[in-house]
Structure formats: structure tokens, C-alpha cells
Structure 1
Amino acid sequence: MAEQSQPRAEKQDQQFTIAVIPDTQNYLDYTHQKAEGFPFDASAMFIEQMQYIADNLQSAGGHIAFVSSLGDVWQHQSKSMDPRHVERGFKRVPNPLLDAHFAPTEQVHLFEMPKAHEGYSLIAGKVPFSVVPGNHDHDAMWTDSKFPAAKQFNPKDLTTLGVLHPGGLDNFRSVFGADTEFFKDKPWYVSSHDGGADSAQVFSAGGYRFLHIGLRFDPPDETLAWAAAVIKRFPGLPTIVSTHNYLNTDGRRLSNAIIDGHRVDPVHNNPEMVWEKFISKNDQIFLVLCGHQHGQATRMDDNDFGNPVWQLLSDYQGRNQTARDAGIEMKGWPIQIGDGWMRLLTFDFRGEVPTIKVRTYSTHYQVESAKHPEYADWYKHQEQPYMSDDQFIGTDHFNVKLVDFRQRFAAAERLADAGRN
């Protein structure tokens, strides 16, 4: 029997998973390691997370077909300000509270970046993947002179802490740039911009070819123009966009008040501008993934063509049960770790209506969120305090129905079939 006449179920696997890695900065923070007097090596949880992904890749007989990292890979910066912003006249001002946590340190080169490289080396060459730069992955992050900290902090107005501004991506490019061994000459790494600060990948799974576009923190117009051109190069492919800053925990496209790239430098687009200028105007985009703001949220909007775009926030960096397990008392500035939680998006094309099964899994506790009896007790109060326990658990364990997917992306299915024949 010819291959093209075989039933779909025999021709291809109709289920696959995208592993989504939210902010890992607190695992890689050099101060969260035994060498600095911390009770345990938090970086071990990062390596454990990457090993779980490696063990469950399709190339290893598992189900993970693509990996998206949402930025803030490491914690610290190496410069007070990058040269480009110095040339443009930006100035740094002292910040009594934030400077203690975001002071430049050579440890980002000596420990944090090498550990990140070690983790991603576990999946390199085995799966298409993307890493986008978050604000912490920049060379510098300073309190801008136009938005200094107030003399007295007002918890109802976070801008009284001052407004931070990131700049420079040399550190990021040295680990995740287009010319690194992770991506150079990989056939699935189909485009990059500004040395890999923005990038695009193509992968095949579930009977479709997919396009993925990774955008930097608060992307400028030139990045959005590049991304739109990439979509034109791959017409008809269902497209996923990953970026660092996009949704807040209320599900609004709104920046964190103390790290607002557009407010400090209008060259950058804020999340709503990214939606208006790029996402809503490109009909191939059906899914947007983001991190940055501590917690989770989901929203759906119709784009300018009347088709749905699902938008998911996943960021578990503020979780600290592992620190509590180690006997650390939460005094003053809270210790944040992440507890091994990540997102697994399982696409299921077996039924008439395709679905994405969104599951949140801890590689440390080795359990899904909905199956952990203390999940809401541990995390709800700091992430979604106004929800019931069931509602909170539902933010991390739910299904998305892709009602229009088959009709909307029939051309991509045909392309995938043609690639096999």
C-alpha cells in the first residue's frame, strides 16, 4: 500500500509536546549555591529540569518536539551600563534597594552563564529549540536617571522603587547567538536578527509544519519588521511567538511598573504595542508564550482577521517551597527559587477538534500541579490570592480547544505530508 493512502494514525504521531521553560534566573543565581553558603545548589534543579526534557525528547523516544525558553535565563549583569546607551546619553542613578540585588558582578561570567550553557548542552543537537533574552539576560540593568527611586517606598505605586532599564546583549549572544554551536548551520534555525537577539525556527510535529518566532524583551520596531518578514517567507504555517514580557497575572498586556522598556526608552514597544503592531496583524500567529511576571494567566483575543490568538503567561520563579523545605526563614526580601515547575503543552490532533493540554509539572517534586495536594496552599496566596483553590489549580491545568485550526492551517498539513513523501 502506498504511504499516501495509509490512514493518518498510521502515517504520523498525532500527539506531541512543546516544553516551555519559564524564568530560570533564581536557579542560576550564584548566591543560591552551596559555594556562597546557601543550603543547597539551586542550579541542580535547573540541570534536573533540562535533563527531564532531554530524556523525553522525540529523538529519545519521548514526546517533546520543541523547546521554548522564555528568557531571564540567568540572574546578574556584568556592566553598569552598555556602551550604546552611554553614547545615547542615558544615565544611571543610585537605588538604595534595587542596587543590592542587581549590582554587576563577574560571577555572571564565571558561574551563571557557563551553567546555562551546561544545561542547554543536554538538548543541543537533539531538538529544535529557542531561547529569548529577558531583561536579566542583558549586559546591564540600571535605575534610569529620569525615573529614580522615591525617598519613601509606596507599596501601592511600584514606580516609587525607580524604573529599571536593561541594555546590551553581548552576554546573551555569546551563549545563545546565531553563530554559537547551539544554532549555527542547524536546518531548523531558519532566521535571526541582531546576531540572534531575535530568532526563528521551523519544526514538524503532529502532521504539520510549525513556525516559531522568538522576540527579545520589549522588541523595537526593527525587530517586529524582521519578524513580519519571516512570516512572509513561510506562508501558511501555524506560528507560535515566544517573548519575555507580554502578559501580567491579571491577563493584561501590561509591563511590570519597575521594568518598563517603552516608558524609559520609546524605541521599545510595550506588550500592547506588540499586539497592535505585529501579533494581531499576522493571521498565522495562533499562540503567544511569555514569562517575566510572577504567576500565570491566559487570555484569548481575535486578531484583525477574526481568528483566535491564545496568549499564555508562565513564570514560577517566585516559588520558594524548596527553600522552606531547607529551613530558610523568609525575612525581608523573600528567597525565590522556582521549585522545578515548568509548562508542558501537549498538542492532540486525534479528535475532530484539536486541543492543547496545558499541564504544569515540577521536575523537583515529580508531579503535575493538579495532582499535588498542597499546590494551592503553597502558592496561591502569592500569585492569585483572590481565587478559590480549584480556580487556582485550573490556571495551571486546563485544555485549549483549537476549534478553527484544521481549516485555518490546512496548507501547513499538506506541506508536512509533502515533506514525508
Structure 2
Amino acid sequence: MCTCTSHEHDQAEAEQAGAGRRNFLRATALIGAATAAVAIPTATAQAAPVPAVSASKTRWRPDPDSSRFTLVVMPDTQYLFDGASINPAPIEASLRYILEQGEDDNIVFLSHLGDLTENGAQAEVTAASKAFGLLDRRGVGYSVLAGNHDVKSSTDDQRGPTPYLDAFGPQRFKDKPTFGGASPDGYNTFHLFKAAGRQWLVLALDWRLSAQGYAWAKDVIARHPKMPVILTTHELVYEADTLSPYGQQLWDRLVKEHDQIFLTLNGHNWPAGRAVRRNAAGNDVHLHLTNYQNRYYGGAAMIRLYRFDLDRDTIDVETISPWILGRAGDGLNELERQEIELTGPQDRFSVAIDFEKRFSGFAPVSPRGPRSASEMLVRGTVAYWRFDGHAEGAAMDGTVRDLSGRGNDLTVVKVADGSLTWSSEHHPDQPGHGSLYFHGDKSPLRGAYLRTAENAPLNSATFRGGYTFEAFYQLPGDWDPSRNAWGGLISRTGTGGAAGKTEGDPDEPLATLSLSDGPGPQWAVRPLNQQGIATNWGDETAREVWWHVAVVNDGSHTTLYVQGCPVARNPTARSVGLTSLGLPWLLGGYEYAGKIDQILHGRLGDVRIVERALPVTSFMNH
């Protein structure tokens, strides 16, 4: 139960609206549209001009490569365009929200789900059409399909001319970059947008499909065989987990047999609901019903924001009323406070979808191919080792060549008859498609590691001008911190005490990129300008997952990156170069007090050392 006063509640709603919507109220046109219709609308509202969108606004251009994008869904708005009761203000507020938030939310498309008007009458359609001019002037991609109130409900897509078709037929969309085409009758359209680096298809279908309509829809999908399809129509889901009779027909005749359709959106019925059905390919199809015409102010042109996040394999769904949000600063009435944002389980939720797996049946992602060693030899490369081209499980003996040409070759050192084997496994973004499997153990100490020769040029390098150390690694499921913690990925031999740097533990090596008991990467070194040890701590990294780690020093400060992302525990103290005693470097081994103390238990992929700071975009996983 809320314990705040009515005044406090209004104030809280206003603050929520301002902060939570990224200051979209900076759009004065939106505020004007929202406040223009507080009272019951009258017929004179039909003649009210649509406020102009600022001429300084650029054309609508979503980011086509971002892994995050938003699809906006607007269901039945019929009670706002009903005979003498015509009030475009709420829908204009929603459309202005799209214009104002388009860049911040990376809005790629708007789908109206039909029943735009109550009677499909000319005056109603004209008023609605004028409102959508807000999007037309900025080139925003959208679709508006026909619901049973926009056309004669007893007809299908072969009904012929209507006011709806005159206003929202294919001629309206033909110049938009997202428009793909229409059925010969004009009542069915498809639209294409690019997001997350791929093309997506929106199929906007009429209230009732004829045989010709079904054939056309199937042909559109067949002509775009690798595109994920979002099907929009007016009626499909009837209530939570139930399809209407027509919805079942649509499922049986179209959705079920076309694996590309992974999401369907419809209005018509209420309350909002969701269903999941398994298609013929054995994959889930998410079917969503969204409609708010039974709520305050005929739904107040509420919109749903489908926020796709392909990094998280999730769609986050949010339902808001921009018209009410725009008026929050003036104080809201009792019903508006309830409707400003809907947070019930059918209105605010997340859908987990492994997009790569879900789309693999029609658009499999090709694994990234290997890249040549020469491509990895950026300016300043002083060592580059890779472990590809060998049979899985074969014993590794002999020498690993330094592909930089600097002569920092590696040889194997075995402890207690330990073994080192080749592996074909690798990080998906690794240049070389192979790795070395280190079988280290501390109880008792055994395994094998790699070591540079006594005269290798790398041994004496101090990196005073900066450096970048990179490596790919994976730890097996049986990695145990009591036996495997602090195995080194890359380590420099020689102790702090031997170098005259006795602050802290003098037996620690001069430099090591090791894996803590988390396990997580840790960079601990003796810089030239410090007596003590400078340490960068990484977060825990999961077992049986490939990781890329990089340590970058720009000549004065050091930053540790995991998967190209900086970690939190990067010290701000000045750090210049690396202390050297001219002794070898180790891969897979870690010395303490001048003796081997731990050997890596896990796989090590490509390793590169560069004598300058590299930007993230130049890392080996890019």
C-alpha cells in the first residue's frame, strides 16, 4: 500500500516521468499535444492543426549495427477516432515520443495493430492520417494494418477500395526505405529494417486473409529466406495462452510451417496476454496480444516498447502512455496515475531468446575464419605465438616459433613427466584456430610450460613507452582453485628482491598475468618507477568459456581488459614500463622465489606482445 499523500504521489509520478524517459519532455510539441486534450474531446478537435516538428531535426536514421534496438507497437486506437469524438492528441504524443526517443532508444520501426478508427469513416481516417504525418515528415518506418473497425468486418483483403486503403495503402509507404512491397489488393504489406547487423522483416497482414493473401504472404517469406519475421495482424491470440478460431487458422496455414516467424503481435481482444507455440521445426514462436482500448481514455494511444538486446539474448517489453507522461508535470488525475505505465506481468516482461540458435535453421551464423599471422603483426609487435595446425590431443614437443620474426621462440619445459598437448579448440574471434592444453597441477607439482631462450630479445625489454599483452584462454570444468589457482598465462622470471625492489613480497616475480582463485585474470608487475607491486584485478571468468584478456599501458597508466571491456579494479597510480633482469618469459608457468611454483591447467590460445598501447579496436578479438 502506498503511504504517500496525493500531492506526493503526483510529484513522484512527475519525477519518474522526467528521469525515466531521458528528458523526452524537452520536446515542447509533445507537451503541447498532451495538454491540448484534458477535457472530453469535441468535434472541434478534428480541425486542430498538427503542431509542426522542428525543422532542425534530422531524418530518422536508426543505428543498423547496434545489438540493441527498439520496435514500437501501438494497438487499437479506435476510440480516439470515433464519429464526432475525434481526438488525435494522445496518438500524436505517442508519435512524438518516437521522434524524440528515436536515437536514444534506437527505434527502428512502429507497428500499428489495426482498429485505427471506430467506423472506418472518411473523417476518422483523415484525422488519423494527418497525425501519422508526423512520422512521414521525418521518414520514420512504420506500418498500419486494417482491423475489423477500419473496414467492413465481414470482408477479407479482396474487399476493394476503402477510406483506410486510400490513406494507408502502399502508396503511403512506397518512398520509405523500410517499405518492401504490398499484395496486389494493397491490404497486406511487408517492411524491412536493418538492426544488429542483419535484415529483419515485418509482415503486416489484413484483418482477414483470403487465399490470395495467404499465397502472397508465403511468397514474401520465400523470397527472403534468411530474414527473421515478425508477423503483425489484428487478431490471433484471444486471451492468455489461447488462440481465436481465426488465429488458429493463421497458425495452421502460415505461422506453424514457417520457421522464420519467431514473434507475432496482435490487438483486437483484451486484456493483454501471451502464448508460446512450438512450430513444425520444433522451435518456439512467441505470440503476444496487446490492446488497451478498454482502459482509461480508450487506452490513451499506449505503446509497447519491444527492446531487443542481442548481447543478452533478451527482449524487454515495456508499456507506457506518452500522452499521460507528457502531462505528469501538471499533476495527474486518479485514473491517469494508474495508466502512466503498466507494470503487470502481461505488460512489462522479458522474453529470453537465444537469437543465434533460434535463427540457425534458416540463417546460420558462419564461424569466423582464421586470419593470417601477417595480419596480426601490427606496428610494434615484439612477439606473436599461435598454436594452430595440429591434431587434437597430439603431444607438443620441440619449438613454438615467434611469428613476429623477432626471435622470441619458445621451448617446452616438463615437470615430473608432465604433458602439453595441441588442441583444435579456440576462442570464436581468435586469429589462429588452435590452442595448447596445459595439464598443470600443484598437488603434487606437475605439468609442462613454455619458456623463451636465454638470449631472446624479449627478456631484456622494459617497455618504457608502453605495452599491450594479449592472450586467449579457457579453463576446463574440473579447474580447482585449491590445486590450480595462480597458474600463469604470461610471466616474467626474476624476483623483485633480485632486482632490488623489496617492498611487498620480494619473492614475487617481476611480472605475471595469472589466474586467481576466482578464477579471474590478475596483472601484477614491478614497474620501473615503483618499488612495490602494481596490480590490476579482473573479475571472475567462467570455466569452459573462452576469454580474451589484454593489459594495456600507455606509458603512464595500465588498464586490464576482459573481452575488450575495462575491469573495475584498475589502479590510477602512475606506472612506467616493466623491470627486467634479462631473464626468460614463461607461457603457462609461474615462478615464486625463482622456482617454478604453478603450471596452468587450461587452454591457451594466441598470445601477442606489442611495445605500445593498442586501442580496443586493434585487439586480436576484433
Q: What range is the shorter-chain TM-score in? A: 0.5 to 0.7
Change (3 A) 1:344 1:291: same
Q: Which residue of 1 aligns with 2:238?
A: 248
Q: Which residue of 1 aligns with 2:81?
A: 28
Q: Which residue of 2 aligns with 1:217?
A: 207
Larger gyration radius, structure 1 or structure 2: 2
Q: Supply the distance in 2 between the matched residues of 1:28 and 1:11 (Cα, whole angstroms).
A: 35
Change (3 A) 1:340 1:194: same
Residue identity in the other structure for 2:74: I
- 295, 299, 316: which one aligns with 1:357: 316
Q: Supply the distance in 1 between the matched residues of 2:146 and 2:344 (Cα, whole angstroms).
A: 29
Residue identity in the other structure for 1:65: V
How far off is 1:141 after superposition?
4.9
The within-5 A match list for 1:319-338 is 319-320=295-296, 322=297, 337-338=298-299
Q: Deviations over 1:301-325 (max 9, x none)?
A: 11000011000000011112x4xxx
Q: Which has the higher strand share?
A: 2
Q: Supply the distance in 2 between the matched residues of 1:11 and 1:339 (Cα, whole angstroms).
A: 31
Whether the 8 Å CA contact 1:134–1:244 is kept in 2: the answer is yes
Q: Please, what is the CA RMSD of the aligned residues?
A: 3.2
Q: Supply the distance in 1 between the matched residues of 2:287 and 2:169 (Cα, whole angstroms).
A: 26
Does residue 393 in structure 1 map to residue 367 in structure 2?
Answer: no
The within-5 A match list for 1:261-410 is 270-320=246-296, 322=297, 337-351=298-312, 354-366=313-325, 393-403=344-354, 405-409=355-359
* Structure 1 unaligned residues grouped into runs of 5+: 1-9, 34-41, 78-107, 145-165, 256-269, 323-336, 380-389
Q: Supply the distance in 2 between the matched residues of 1:402 and 1:376 (Cα, whole angstroms).
A: 34
Q: Which residue of 2 aligns with 1:19?
A: 72
Whether the 8 Å CA contact 1:22–1:70 is kept in 2: the answer is yes
3-state SS, counterpart of residue 393 of structure 1: coil
How far off is 1:53 after superposition?
1.6
* Structure 2 unaligned residues grouped into runs of 5+: 1-62, 327-331, 369-622
Q: Supply the distance in 2 between the matched residues of 1:375 and 1:308 (Cα, whole angstroms).
A: 37
Whether the 8 Å CA contact 1:279–1:303 is kept in 2: the answer is yes
Does residue 49 in structure 1 map to residue 94 in structure 2?
Answer: yes
Whether the 8 Å CA contact 2:64–2:194 is kept in 1: the answer is no
Q: Which stretch shows the higher mean deviation, 183-192 or 112-121?
A: 183-192
Report which structure shows greater RCO (CA 8 Å, sep ≥6).
1
Change (3 A) 1:316 1:413: farther
Does residue 69 in structure 1 map to residue 20 in structure 2?
Answer: no
Q: Return the TM-score normalized by structure 2.
A: 0.44
How far off is 1:412 after superposition?
5.3
Q: Supply the distance in 1 between the matched residues of 2:333 and 2:278 (Cα, whole angstroms).
A: 36
Q: Supply the distance in 1 between the matched residues of 2:93 and 2:284 (Cα, whole angstroms).
A: 35
Residue identity in the other structure for 1:398: F
3-state SS, counterpart of residue 116 of structure 2: coil
Q: Deviations over 1:356-382 (max 9, x none)?
A: 101111112229xxxx99889958xxx
How far off is 1:54 after superposition?
2.1
Q: Deviations over 1:332-368 (max 9, x none)?
A: xxxxx212322110001123xx11101111112229x
Q: Supply the distance in 1 between the matched residues of 2:161 and 2:146 (Cα, whole angstroms).
A: 8
Q: Supply the distance in 1 between the matched residues of 2:149 and 2:243 (Cα, whole angstroms).
A: 20
Q: Return the TM-score normalized by structure 1.
A: 0.64
How far off is 1:169 after superposition?
4.8
3-state SS, counterpart of residue 301 of structure 1: strand
How far off is 1:271 after superposition?
1.2
Q: Supply the distance in 1 between the matched residues of 2:169 and 2:159 (Cα, whole angstroms).
A: 16
Whether the 8 Å CA contact 1:340–1:365 is kept in 2: the answer is no
Q: Supply the distance in 2 between the matched residues of 1:373 and 1:278 (Cα, whole angstroms).
A: 45
Q: Which residue of 1 aligns with 2:129?
A: 117
Change (3 A) 1:171 1:194: farther
The within-5 A match list for 1:73-92 is 73-77=116-120
Whether the 8 Å CA contact 1:199–1:214 is kept in 2: the answer is yes
Change (3 A) 1:169 1:243: farther
Whether the 8 Å CA contact 1:169–1:197 is kept in 2: the answer is no
Q: Which residue of 2 aligns with 1:172?
A: 164
Residue identity in the other structure for 2:79: N
3-state SS, counterpart of residue 23 of structure 1: coil
Change (3 A) 1:375 1:297: farther
Q: Supply the distance in 2 between the matched residues of 1:375 and 1:171 (Cα, whole angstroms).
A: 34
3-state SS, counterpart of residue 71 of structure 1: coil
Q: Which stretch shows the higher mean deviation, 243-252 or 296-305?
A: 243-252
Change (3 A) 1:413 1:273: same
Q: Which has the higher helix share?
A: 1
Q: Deviations over 1:62-95 (max 9, x none)?
A: 4211110100111114xxxxxxxxxxxxxxxxxx
The within-5 A match list for 1:141-156 is 141=153
Q: Supply the distance in 2 between the matched residues of 1:11 and 1:70 (Cα, whole angstroms).
A: 24
Q: Which runs of 4+ in 1 moved over 4 A?
A: 166-169, 372-379, 410-415
